[in-house]
Amino acid sequence: MSGIRDAGDYGRGGPAALNRLLDLLCWSAAALAGLLVLGVSAAVAVSVTLRASGLGSVRGDFEIVSIGCGVAAFLFLPLCQWRRGHIAVDLFSNGLPQRWRDALEGAWELVFALAWIVLGWRLLAGLLDTYEYQDRSMLLRLPLWTLYLPALFGTALSALVALRLAAALWRGAGPAREVME
C-alpha cells in the first residue's frame, strides 16, 4: 500500500480508512491507464504489421494512440499526486525546521488541489460543449464528450489527494511526509 501513513487510526471512518480508499482509487486508475497503454501498443503493433504485409492498417490508428495516451495520462495523475512524484525544488527549504517544511509542502499541496479543481472545471465545460454539439472523432466516430470523463475523474481524484496530503502535512502527522514503500 502506498500513500500517507497516519500516526493513528481514528476508527473505521478515520484518516487511515480514507488513506486506504484513496490508495485503492489511485492504484486502480493507474492500473486502468496501464491496460489502456498496453491496448494502444497492441493496436499500433497490429497496424504496423498489417501495413508492412500490404494488408492495410487498423482504421483510426492515430486516433487510438492520441486518445488512448491522453486518457491514460489523466488516469496516471492521481497516483503521481498520491506518491508525491511531482518535481520538487527544495534547495532553499532543506535548511528549515521540519515543521516549517511540512507547512510549506502543505501549502504547495493546496496549490496543486486548486490547480486540479480549475483544470477539472474547464474539462467539465469542454465535456458539456462537446456533448451539446455531439462532436465525434474523425475516423472512429467516437463521441468526444465520453473522452472527458476519465480526465475529469483523474483531476477530481488528484484534487482530493492533494487536499488529503495538505491536511496530513499541516496536522503534523510525521510519517505523512514519507510515501509508503
Residue 107: inside a domain, yes or no? Answer: yes
145-163 residue pLDDT tens: 999 999 999 999 999 999 9
Residue 6: inside a domain, yes or no? Answer: no
> What is the SS3 assignment for 142?
coil
- Comparing C-alpha atoms, which of 89, 84, 103, 107 is closest to residue 179? 84
8-state DSSP, 4: B
Of residues 21 and 176, more confidently modeled? 21
> What is the SS3 assignment for 137?
coil
Residues 6+ apart with CB under 8 A from 78: 25, 26, 29, 30, 154, 157, 158, 161
**DSSP for 61-74?**
HHHHHHHHHHHHHH
Residue 8: inside a domain, yes or no? Answer: no
- CA 100 remoteness from chain centre: 28
14-42 residue pLDDT tens: 678 888 999 999 999 999 999 999 999 99
Residue 10: inside a domain, yes or no? Answer: no
Domain extent for 159:
15-177
Distance CA 153, CA 159 (A): 10
Distance CA 119, CA 155 (A): 7
Residue 86: inside a domain, yes or no? Answer: yes
pTM of the model: 0.84
- The strand pairing partners of 179, in sequence order, are 4
Q: What is the mean pLDDT of residues 165-171?
A: 89
> What is the SS3 assignment for 172?
coil
Residue 97: inside a domain, yes or no? Answer: yes
- Structurally, the chain folds into a number of domains equal to 1
92-146 residue pLDDT tens: 788 888 888 888 889 999 999 999 999 999 999 999 999 999 999 999 999 999 9
Scan for cell 518535481, then name that residue: 87
